[in-house]
Each structure stands twice: as C-alpha cells, then as structure tokens.
Amino acid sequence: MTKQRSPYKVFIVEDHFAMRQAYIDLIARENDLKVCGVAITAQEALEQIPQCHPDIVLIDVSLDGMSGIELTQQLKNQYPELPALIISGHEEAFYARKAIQAGARGYVVKRRVRLLTQAINDVLQGEIYVVP
Amino acid sequence: MNQDSKKNDTEVNQRNLPSTLNAHLAEKQEGERRSLAQTLHDEIGQNVTAIGFNLDFIQSQFDSSDPNINFVRKRLENALTLVEETTDQIRQLVSELRPPMMDEYGLIEAIDWYANNLSQQTGIKIDVQPIYFAPRLPSWVENTLFRITQEALINIIHHAKTDRASIIIEANATHVKLSIVDNGVGFEQQKQPRLTETFGLRTMIERAKSAQGVCSIESQLNQGTQVTVEVPR
C-alpha cells in the first residue's frame, strides 16, 4: 500500500479580506493542498513563514509597506527553494515581468483567481505559470 | 556646517517641493489623482473581483441538469458579465488617472508603459529610448515630466497625422532631457496655431518652468515637431 503524501502547505499573504477568503475557499477544495498560515503584511509573513514551513507562498503584489515584489525578492534570498506565486490586481505585463524578475515562479491576475489552484499545482511541479 | 553646505541643503529641500502656485496646484491635483486611483484599484476593484469570485462559486454549486433554476443561472451569468465589464472600466479609469507604476518604479517605466498603451490604442508606433539614472528626480518633477510627455503625445495623435513617434530620454550629471519627436505634418511656427493647440503648448512650457526647467517646441511644415524639455537633476 502506497503511503499518501501529506498535502502541500500554502502560505497566503493578502491584505484584502474577501480575496483572502477566496484563496482559502479554493485551496480547501483541493485534497492535496492546505493553508498553513495567513499574513496581511510582508512583515507578518516574514515572521510567520519560519514557523509554518510552507511548500509555496501566495503573495498579493500590492501590500501596505513592503510590496509583494520586495517580499518575493527577500524570500528568494532567505529561502531560495521556496516558490512564490504572485497574485495581482494589475493586468499590465509590466508587473508580471517585475514579479518573475524578482524570483516569483508564477503570476496570476485576480480576475482569473479561479485558476489559482491550477497555478499552485503547476508551480509546485516546477513550472512557471503566468496569467496576465 | 559652512555657509555653502547650508545653501546646498536649502536648495535640495526647495527642489523637493514645487516652487510656484501653479506647480503647487498641479501637484495637489496629482495627489488627488493618486488617491483616487489607489482607492479604485485597491478597494473598489478588489471588491468587484471578490463579488465576481463569489458569484462564480454560487454558479458552480447549481445542478446544471435542473431546469427549474435556469432563470437563476441566467441572472448569474448576466451579473458575472457586468462584473467583467465593471472590472475593465475600473482598470481603464485607473490607467487614465495615473500610471500605476509611477510611484514605485518611476518616470521612465511610466513613460514606457504609457507609450506602449498608446501605441496599442492608436496604431502609432512610439519608440522609447530610455536611460535609467539614479537617484530619481523628486516625485513632483517626475509628475511634471510625465504630464508634458503625455501632452506632447496627445498632440501627436490629434494633429501630427503620422504613424511614428519617438521619445528620447537623456541624462547627464546635472540635467535630464526628454525629447518627443514625430515626423508628421508639423506647423509653421510663425503662424498662430489654433487656440486649443496654443493652450496645450503653453501648458507644457509652464509646466517645465515650474520644475525650473525649459521646454522648447520646434516645428516645420511637413517636417514634424520636436518637443524638448530639460530640467535640472
């Protein structure tokens, strides 16, 4: 009998309540994913991530204080193996480019949030996922 | 601290603030645009996106084979279409108010983005030759240069009858220079242009002055127009 892998742990950084809830709902529908922590600022995320040991971090691009792009860069430096997926209200290709340059493995616009779990799974498989 | 360095500090501080009433008013308007764009994008836009997500979720919970709820499904589809349209309208409005990347990434990225957008909307090929320089100009000077560039590009679209334009950005130790050039129909500088054109040209010159810079407009009939603005760093 094959032992089933425990779900991948997802950490969410998002300051908008309803969007945060949307990500949690989408992830809850997937057996192989679970939310291990939630932060509403980059600073909170940096404090909580070491306790949570996530497999992937979802980051809103527009955060108060340190931006999502800056947080991505910082996480890339601190945890080079931890993939970041940017979720953004900006549909300009400019932001997708900046996110990938900062080290993100994916970029999903909020309008296409229903594709989020597909994006998470692709990034966890080592692919780059961009939906601008 | 000697007298010279005190003077330099004062100059730097003054440079960080608009120096004329017109410039103050322009910067106040820029602040209002910034705030409005931010509210639209960060709050209203995200609320609409979240409403769309919730409607989408509700729709996915209905049994598609049940004919009794077809009318509800139809209403939901209409609501989702409205959400998509509203999202597009908000996005367009935010872009028109102020380039979203202006504050974080600065003038050059904003000009590049604006020119690309305008190219896509109008079919006019706008070539941007950017130079990145540090430190960035004070925010209000960046705003001023962006609005001059915007005005010059809008003039090209309305009057130049051309399919090509270019923006050249140069920087040396003391100045930043922007040239917006087209190869369109141009105009005879001796002849009085129409009132609206005069107003647009005067606005650019006034804006440049407010940033302690200069703006020149050179044009010849059938040989295009070049707007050059130069400001101290």
A86 within domain boundaries: yes
Chain B residue whose CA is closest to A65: B104
A4 within domain boundaries: no
CATH label of the domain that carries residue A98:
3.40.50.2300
ipTM computed for the complex? 0.84
Torsion sign, CA atoms A100, A102, A106, A111: negative
| Secondary structure, 3-state, A71-83 | HHHHHHHHCCCCC
A3 within domain boundaries: no
Q: How many domains does chain A have?
A: 1
Residues with Cβ within 8 Å of A99's Cβ and at least 6 positions away in sequence, in order, are: A61, A68, A69, A72, A86, A88, A107
Pick from B31, B47, B121, B1: nearest CA to A22: B47
Mean pLDDT of chain B: 86
Indicate whether B96 pLDDT > 70.
yes
Most A CBs within 10 Å, among B39, B40, B49, to test the A interface: B49
Cα–Cα distance measured from residue A119 to residue B71, given in angstroms and rounded to the nearest whole number? 33
> A120-129, B5-14, B24-33: which has the minimum mean pLDDT?
B5-14
Q: Cβ of A94 under 8 Å from any chain B Cβ? A: yes
Q: Cβ of A22 under 8 Å from any chain B Cβ? A: yes
More confident residue, B3 or A43: A43
Q: What confidence score (pLDDT) does residue B143 get? A: 92
C-beta atoms of A111 and B104 within 8 A? no
Q: What confidence score (pLDDT) does residue B114 get? A: 94
Q: What confidence score (pLDDT) does residue A69 get? A: 96
Q: Grade residue B24 by pLDDT with cuts at 50, 70 and 90.
A: confident
Mean pLDDT of the A55-76 span: 96
**B-chain residues within 8 Å CB-CB of A98?**
105
A1 within domain boundaries: no
DSSP A132: -
Indicate whether B2 pLDDT > 50.
no
A118 within domain boundaries: yes
Pick from A79, A36, A86: nearest CA to A58: A86
Beta bridge pairs of residue B88: none
Domain boundaries, chain B: 21-97, 106-232
Q: Cβ of B100 under 8 Å from any chain A Cβ? A: yes
A9 within domain boundaries: no
> Distance (Å) from the C-alpha of residue A127 to the closest C-alpha of chain B?
25
A11 within domain boundaries: no
Domain coverage including residue A65: 19-131
CATH class name, domain B106-232: alpha beta
